[in-house]
Chains A and B, each alone.
Chain A
Amino acid sequence: DIVMTQSPDSLAVSLGERATINCKSSQSVLYSSNNKNYLAWYQQKPGQPPKLLIYWASTRESGVPDRFSGSGSGTDFTLTISSLQAEDVAVYYCQQYYSTLPFFGPGTKVDIK
């Protein structure tokens, strides 16, 4: 099984400042035949289902603000919120879908400082 870890567990950032979340997989999720990383990021606000933000590690889902960006390759990935807005308070999860067991990371809670 591919195990996903995230850091930090939580962070508090001032409005307008940058938030950075890290995600690490226990093995590479880069598929060599198409050079794509099978890694997604989701945002979950209280009382709501998760929402897809990023897939292929760095492709923003339609309608997602461009302050959200994903980067990384292989086993190490980052979600960056370039200028935190009040509506970005949420828990963020990474997920690998490289294997047939598409497990999630434990989540990172983002709050306003």
Chain B
Amino acid sequence: QVQLVQSGAEVKKPGASVKVSCKASGYTFTSYGISWVRQAPGQGLEWMGWISAYNGNTNYAQKLQGRVTMTTDTSTSTAYMELRSLRSDDTAVYYCAREDESNRGGAFDIWGQGTMVTVSS
């Protein structure tokens, strides 16, 4: 079945970096984009950025520019999100989501299970 499976929870110190993976299966990876969305404890959904699995083009939220990098490995159908210079307010659940432009115009139809990233000294 179509699914996105993310890497496990991480605990990091302020100033460190974290890299979260998102492995796709059940569909042609390069036919869809991947967006990353985060959710701080008790808060709403914050879109972080997007990567085309076809050509690697990216688009990041302005507030994260310079700290975030999204990449893909088409040989393993895996997307990655790296966030650097971590701060306490980066503590959140991080989700990857498939962006279906062809059939749904870009709505996020498949979501990963989420990865908890805790930033604490």
Residues of A within 8 A of B (CB): 36, 38, 40, 42, 44, 49-52, 55-56, 59, 61, 91, 93, 95, 97, 100-107
Contacts and interface: CB of A to CB of B under 8 A. Distances in A.
Interface stretch (B8-16, B71-79, B103-111): B103-111
Contacts, number: 64
Contacts of B107: 40, 52, 55-56, 95, 97
Interface size class of B (residues with CB under 8 A): 20 to 34
B120 interface: no
B105 A49 contact: no
A52 B59 contact: no
Interface in B37-62: 37, 44-47, 50, 59, 61
B11 to A, nearest CB: 19
Given A40-B107, A49-B95, A97-B106, A102 B44 contact: no
Contacts of A40: 104, 107-108
Interface of B: 35, 37, 44-47, 50, 59, 61, 95, 97, 99, 104-109, 111-114
Given A49-B111, A49-B114, A104 B46 contact: yes
Given A95-B108, A97-B105, 13 more contacts: A38-B105, A42-B108, A44-B45, A49-B112, A50-B108, A55-B105, A56-B104, A91-B44, A95-B45, A102-B35, A103-B47, A104-B44, A105-B44
